[in-house]
Amino acid sequence: MIPDSFLEELKQRCDIESLISSYVLLKRAGRNLKGLCPFHSEKTPSFVVYPESQSF
């Protein structure tokens, strides 16, 4: 298992919005970002990125 301390350091060093937008077209949805899910085929965006918590 990956140590929590490593994950926290990774979140601090990497901007999740920049990273994911390299692969998924993201559009602003309030404070968050939405795009087509990279894990399955879809027509309506359901993939949400939360920049404040550096998570999706």
DSSP three-state, residue 21: helix
In tens, the pLDDT along 1-56 reads: 989 999 889 888 999 999 999 999 999 999 999 999 999 999 999 999 999 999 99
* CB 42 within 8 Å of CB 34: no
pLDDT at 7 (0 to 100): 87
Assigned CATH for 4-49: 3.90.580.10
Q: Which amino acid is it at 37?
A: C
